[in-house]
Amino acid sequence: MGSGRYLDDPLTFTRNPPSSSSPITESSFLGESISRSGSFESESLRGGDGDSFSDADFSLEKLAGTVQFYERHVFLCYKKPSVWPARIEASEFDRLPRLLSSVISARKSSMTKETLLTICEGHDGSETSNGDVLIFPDMIRYRRLTHFDVDTFVEEVLVKDVEWLPGNSESLRGSYVFVCCHGSRDRRCGVCGPSLVSRFREEIELCSLRGEVSVSPCSHIGDHKYTGDVLIYGLNINQRVTGHWYGCVTLEDVPLLLEQHINKGEIVDRLWRGEMGLPEEDQKKTQEQRLLLNSEKISNREVTQESFNNGICCQSRAVPELNGSCCQQNWNSSYCLEENHTEKNTPERVASVKKASLRISSSENGSSCGFKACATISMWLESWEKEDTYAALAVACAAASVAIAYNCYKQLK
């Protein structure tokens, strides 16, 4: 995809004669139209051009790697989805979106960044008024662009990468969610999109995220089989602005995206299509690496839990703060062993240590093995050799005293 194009290339589905006169409705979407796999369950649905679509059109594919490469996303806030024509950039709908698209296309060879243009909803007198422009990853809003300003705006902001002074730029804060609601382009998006927007707004209110998360309907962002399409822009855990695309999103997935992606900064891989700034192949590799890392984390947690349940002592190198001693507990007993001790951990010694640990556990009324118990056992182990030495010296001194006394007794006789 070249700079300055909408990501709304012609749909690639096969056109078939309508098999049903019943179009997809909001009630069917809210009820039974979408399954957890992201597939529509109705026998056939009517598309924006009057074409019908079978279940095969909605089969869930591997989503990662389905976002065409781009480095900057420009959103023009303009009117409502209900009045958008199918081809906003090529229609006589209004001069502003048409001129902005044509100028961006004409200047794309001079731009240093692959630029994507999309229309989002705009309302005069609201946070996103008609003519406002949002730019990601710059996280900037320019107010009130008109068709008279298009040439200078594109030249200054998108070609020269400098500030456009007449626009009164503002910094954006928080996360921005965009949902495809372009019904004149794709009937599914026209039904599914608004329902998703409503659910996002409900969950945002319930989670007290107003002012932190913004949700807007947007124009077509590519390929009907990924409905519902959701884009999320904002800072990640490394304080870097990212743009992530999700596909086949259902109403049930909305709380998950808010909690896992926006609140925790974690990718929902089951729905993840790709990311701004990554070529398609890199998107696939990134997900593979992420899944591998998550799998290793889960495996490590399972091993740790299994060791915990079996009473296996952790290695001292894993917990250096314990100074060579470590502690694990199961539900019945806990014990501590010291690694790298001068005396070998023979079976008899380990058994003795376990008995001592059980006595400590019993004295604490079954409480878990804490640092105090570990420290007690560690000190006891450290004093093991000293006590043996003192006992041996005492026995030797006693024997010497008896020998001296006996000699004195014989001499007196």
Contact 369, 361 (CB under 8 A): yes
pLDDT of 17: 32
pLDDT tens by residue, the chain, 413 residues: 444 433 443 332 222 333 333 455 555 445 434 343 333 333 233 344 434 344 434 434 589 999 999 999 999 999 999 999 999 887 777 899 999 999 999 999 999 999 999 999 998 877 789 999 999 999 999 999 999 999 999 999 999 999 998 877 899 999 999 999 999 999 999 999 999 999 999 999 999 999 999 999 999 997 778 999 999 999 998 899 999 999 999 999 999 999 999 999 999 999 999 999 999 999 999 999 999 998 888 877 767 666 656 654 444 334 344 343 333 333 333 333 333 444 445 555 555 545 544 444 444 444 444 434 444 444 444 454 555 666 777 778 888 877 787 777 777 75
Q: Go through the chain and tell me how many residues it has.
A: 413
Cα separation of 43 and 28, whole Å? 12
Q: CB under 8 Å to 165, separation ≥6 — which residues?
A: none
Centroid of chain to Cα 91:
38
Rg (C-alpha) for the chain, rounded Å, is 35
Place of tokens 């806030």: 77
Contact 161, 199 (CB under 8 A): no
Contact 235, 198 (CB under 8 A): no
From the candidate CATH numbers 3.40.50.920, 3.40.50.300, 3.40.30.10, 3.90.1150.10, the one assigned to the domain spanning 26-278? 3.40.30.10
Contact 41, 32 (CB under 8 A): yes
Domain ranges of the chain: 26-278, 317-382, 384-413
Cα separation of 248 and 37, whole Å? 8
pLDDT of 365: 46
Cα separation of 202 and 213, whole Å? 12
Q: Which of 216, 211, 222 is nearest to 9 (CA)?
A: 222
- Three-class HEC string of 129-179: CCCCEEEECCCEEECCCCCCCHHHHHHHHHHCCCCCHHHCCEECCCEEEEE
pLDDT of 309: 64
Tokens of 307: 């060791």
pLDDT of 346: 54
Within 10 A of 105 (CB to CB), how many other CB atoms are there?
A: 17
Contact 103, 151 (CB under 8 A): yes
Q: Which of 143, 98, 104, 93 is nearest to 122 (CA)?
A: 143
Cα separation of 17 and 147, whole Å? 41
H/E segment holding residue 338: strand 334-338
DSSP structure class, residue 49? T
pLDDT of 138: 96
Centroid of chain to Cα 243:
12
Q: CB under 8 Å to 332, separation ≥6 — which residues?
A: none
Cα separation of 138 and 169, whole Å? 11
Place of tokens 């209110």: 205
The angle subtended at Cα 264 by Cα 260 and Cα 267, nearest 5°, is 50
Tokens of 230: 């959701």
Cα separation of 335 and 374, whole Å? 8
Cα separation of 157 and 197, whole Å? 30
Helix, strand, coil fractions of the chain, as percent rounded to 5: 45, 15, 40
Cα separation of 397 and 393, whole Å? 6
Say which amino acid occupies 44.
S
